[in-house]
Amino acid sequence: MSSIYSSYFMKDLCTSENITASFHPHPLRLKDAHETPYYCAGCKEKGLGKCYQCEDPENCDYHLHQQCYELSTLSESGYSSSIKFTFLENKKCDFVFQKEAPGANQRACDACGRDVKGWFYQCKMCEKPHYLHPCCANLPVNQKGEKGIVLDLKAKTSSKCLECGSKNISQGLRGWFYASNCGKHCYHVGCVMDMVLENLEKGGYGCDDGRYLIKETSDERKSCSCQSLTRAQSGAITRRSRKVGTMKFITEATIIVLNLIISAILGIPITSACVAFYNLF
């Protein structure tokens, strides 16, 4: 997937103290809001991590994913923001960023299977409509982790998702997968996204209770990661699949794989994406 940003324009965007936007009456500022989930006013999806926030947060609860703001600004400035994915069956698919409201017709994201309610990408080449959330369109096509584990983003695979036990994320929609090079791990992007969102809604966001976390210091990250891996190596971590309903052991490799996928989904460094499943389900 080629970059949709020019380095010069990105530098200009990121060094500004206060930002004004045509779609919001108040100044916006880039905030590192990773401790608190927010609702993006652009794509209408929940977010975590850096975002543009209204400078009057007490009276205006307005947030934008960093990439949603940058896409909108690039679009208004006449820059092309189309994306092609080489792993798609139709190599001609060319997704273009759109800000129009989805309208009455229900639209689903090809990658995660969730409804498209706000800003989106749409393929301009296919007769049958194809849509992507901006965050899903920004997913890395490869992720490399410890133990030689490599994940590839795929639109089609012979394996079933280890979370939902199906090849389809929903009826009539396959969804995108992250599959490991060893062939043992395969997860729908949408299934892992649901895990993250479900846990955030529970308020599970820290090391003490063993749920998802992003920590500030490398020592804290290392400590929590070691706790997770130690539990996995000793067979102490099990979890019940939400859709399949069976107990599964969480291995060290599984934790590495899920760390990689969550890192990709949230757009955070792999070293900051620590997943501990103890007491999560």
What confidence tens digit (pLDDT) does each residue in 64-98 have?
998 898 888 888 776 767 788 888 877 778 898 98
pLDDT at site 110 = 93
Is 35's pLDDT higher than 70?
A: no
Are the C-beta atoms of residues 138 and 165 closer than 8 Å to each other?
Answer: no
Does the predicted model carry a pTM greater than 0.85? no
Take residue 185 and report the two structure tokens written for it. 């791990």
> End-to-end CA distance of the chain, in Å?
35
| 160 secondary structure, DSSP code | P
Domain range list for the chain = 1-138, 142-272
What confidence tens digit (pLDDT) does each residue in 125-173 have?
887 888 999 999 999 999 998 889 999 999 988 899 998 999 998 877 8
> Is 194 in a helix, a strand, or coil?
helix
Take residue 106 and report the two structure tokens written for it. 């229900």
Side chain identity, residue 181: N
Sign of CA dihedral 264, 240, 205, 44: positive
Is 123's pLDDT higher than 80?
A: yes
